[in-house]
Amino acid sequence: MKLETLAGMLIALTVFCVALFTSIKNIGVIFDIHAALIVIGGTVAVALICFPLKRIVALLKVFMRRMLGTNARDYASIVDEIAKLSEGYRRGHKVFEGIVSELKDPFLKDAAGVLSWLEADVAPEQLRDLLETRVETHYKLYMNEVKVFRIMGKFPPAFGLMGTTMGMIALLQSLGSEESRSMIGPSMAIALVATLYGLVLTNFVFIPIAENLSEQTEEDMIARSIVVEGIMLIQEGHPTKFVVEKVKSYLLPTQRLALDEKTA
């Protein structure tokens, strides 16, 4: 897990807990089974209506792999491996294949493997089209994961409002009784708990996860674009120094500076 992600989760949890314990006298009112059933149960039910069960189960794997895993793209490592590929390609097919087998980046290894078995007379535009199709396929897959979390984030507030409405109906029904005055405050508090659950679930869970995955997808696209450009330049026979400088053009100035410092 990235340090920033872990820090953000801890800060969010701390802020929420401090706000609760300093503003609510009876903290037990927050734990309401009816509100939880409406918000969480309703969200799960609608998710099953919108998406196949396999896709929902896959979201858990996505969360474990991309949110909790250490999956930050190492641009320096990719550029370094592209430089080695360029040198190996100029030294012959056997040397190039040996370097390909030792590559760590999965997409670079896949793309270099394609280059190793393609005939020399394959047109550059054909190779680029093949690699860009694979990049686009990965992009659509990752953005579909982001889309699911964003859609899921729309439901909890609505079910929270539904729970609050049901609580208000129950409260209004009891206004004619003798104990209604003493029940108004506690009943209102319980009714609003469902809204709180919905807001927390959306703003502390679904939206942050979706935005985190979206950011990771953008980083992954930069890395894959570097790979595609590097493979194309290698096939065209450009010098290694030019190949490295060209692929670094996909990075921001600050990223290029950090990369130069890391590879120095």
pLDDT digits (tens, 9 = 90+) for 181-234: 666 766 777 788 999 999 999 999 899 989 988 988 998 999 999 999 999 999
Q: Which of 218, 100, 206 is nearest to 152 (CA)?
A: 206
Domain ranges, residue 264: 42-264
In angstroms and rounded to an integer, the radius of gyration of the C-alpha atoms of the chain is 27
Q: Residue 184: inside a domain, yes or no?
A: yes
Distances (CA, A) of 31 to 170, 189, 209: 18, 11, 24
Task: Decide: 99 and 85 in contact? Cβ < 8 Å.
Answer: yes
| Total tally of structural domains belonging to the chain | 1
Residue 237: count other Cβ atoms within 10 Å of its Cβ.
Answer: 10
Q: Look at residue 124 in the predicted model and tell me its pLDDT.
A: 83
Q: Residue 22: inside a domain, yes or no?
A: no
Rounded to whole angstroms, the maximal C-alpha distance in the chain is 93
Q: Residue 20: inside a domain, yes or no?
A: no
Tokens of 184: 């108004």
Q: Residue 53: inside a domain, yes or no?
A: yes
Say yes or no to pLDDT of 135 above 90.
yes
> CA 123, CA 134: separation in Å to the nearest integer?
18
- Higher per-residue confidence, 232 vs 76: 232
Distances (CA, A) of 93 to 78, 105, 130: 21, 20, 21
DSSP label at residue 239 = -
Distances (CA, A) of 172 to 86, 166, 175, 192, 224: 76, 10, 5, 14, 59
Q: Residue 248: inside a domain, yes or no?
A: yes
Please state the pTM of the whole predicted model.
0.82
Q: Look at residue 6 in the predicted model and tell me its pLDDT.
A: 78
Q: Residue 206: inside a domain, yes or no?
A: yes
> CA 194, CA 186: separation in Å to the nearest integer?
14
Q: Residue 19: inside a domain, yes or no?
A: no
pLDDT level of residue 147 (50, 70, 90 thresholds): very high
Q: Residue 86: inside a domain, yes or no?
A: yes
